[in-house]
Amino acid sequence: MKVAIAFIGTGKYLNFLPKYHEHIEKYFLPNSEKTFLVFTDGELNDTPENIIPYYQEHLEWPFITLKRFQILNKARDEISKNDWLVFIDADALVVDEVLEEDFFSDKPLFGVWHPCHNLGMPPHNKLPGAFETNPLSLSFVDTEKELPVVYYQGCLWGGKVPEVLKMIDDLEDRVNKDLEKNIIAVWHDESHINKYFIEQKEQVNVLGPEYAYPEVFAEHCNFEPKIVHLAKDNSKYHK
């Protein structure tokens, strides 16, 4: 099986790449052929053969995350050579073995249950949670009509090619249509992912919160980490 791993790291976020790559090679999908698509404005020297760089200028917040789907589309031809695409945030680190049969399913898309939503932490513990409330946004979720069971975190998602390419196209289009109306979703790309996964819920495999373990809230977690979302300061994984 061929899997494309997407890494977006401009500015100082490129510093996460060596350990990110090392840990994915060591622990993640050990029986698959992995290619790393690295979007950065930094220089890559003496990198492993399975890293393919794409120049990406740094965009001011929140556009570096909001424009994520447009950025990924730069690698469309390369993504098409694979069976699956996996997006993992630059500051996320695989820390335990993740086997293909545990990660993938017969559903063509996947996302990760936001650990803070899973644990009932604010703002997820009361309506409308973190869902977009602006009805003019294409990411709007009417929580009064139906409250989704899962809120997804944008740090880990993906799917089977070509279904995931359709998702990327659709969300790039929705983000740009919102921007034409001067609308920015409350949680940027994550808001759009949630709306899309609600629409496609029968097609989405829900990964547990252990795949987005928040280091800063470690004392609240009642599950063991598979992938850790690293603390910005004093992370024990980046000594």
What dihedral do alpha carbons 63, 164, 30, 6 form, nearest 10°? -20
Of 136, 111, 87, nearest in space to 199 by CA? 111
The predicted structure's pLDDT at residue 202: 97
Task: Determine if the pTM surpasses 0.85.
Answer: yes
The predicted structure's pLDDT at residue 233: 78
Is 88 within a domain?
yes
> Can you give the length of the chain in residues?
239
Q: Percentage of residues in the chain with pLDDT exceeding 90?
A: 94
Is 93 within a domain?
yes
How many domains does the structure of the chain reveal? 1
What angle (nearest 5°) sits at the alpha carbon of residue 204, between those of residues 100 and 222?
70
Is 14 within a domain?
yes
Is 235 within a domain?
no
**Is the bond preceding 128 in cis, omega lying within 30 degrees of 0?**
yes
- Alpha carbon 67 to chain centroid, angstroms: 13
| pLDDT tens for each residue of the chain, 239 residues long | 999 999 999 999 999 999 999 999 999 999 999 999 999 999 998 899 999 999 999 999 999 999 999 999 999 999 999 999 999 999 999 999 999 999 999 999 999 999 999 999 999 999 999 999 999 999 999 999 989 999 999 999 999 999 999 999 999 999 999 999 999 999 999 999 999 999 999 999 999 999 999 999 999 999 999 999 998 877 887 75
177: which 2 tokens? 């249509």
For residue 214, what are the β-bridge partners? 229
Angle, to 10 degrees, between the axis of helix 163-180 and the axis of helix 189-199?
Answer: 130
**Cα separation values, 224 from 95, 150, 215, Å:** 10, 19, 11
Do the beta carbons of residue 161 and residue 122 sit within 8 Å? no
Sheet holding 152-160, edge to edge: 51-55, 33-40, 2-8, 84-88, 152-160, 109-113, 204-207
Is 238 within a domain?
no
What backbone phi and psi angles, to 5 degrees, belong to 184?
-120, 120
The predicted structure's pLDDT at residue 239: 59
**Is the bond preceding 62 in cis, omega lying within 30 degrees of 0?**
yes
Give 126-177 pLDDT, tens digit per residue.
Answer: 999 999 999 999 999 999 998 999 999 999 999 999 999 999 999 999 999 9
Tell me, what CATH number does 121's domain have? Answer: 3.90.550.10
Is 200 within a domain?
yes
Q: For the chain, what is the largest distance between any 2 Cα atoms, rounded to a whole number of angstroms?
A: 53
Domain membership of residue 92 as a residue range: 2-229
How far apart are alpha carbons 136 and 158 in whole angstroms? 26
Is 56 within a domain?
yes
How far apart are alpha carbons 203 and 210 in whole angstroms? 21
Is 237 within a domain?
no
How far apart are alpha carbons 46 and 41 in whole angstroms? 16
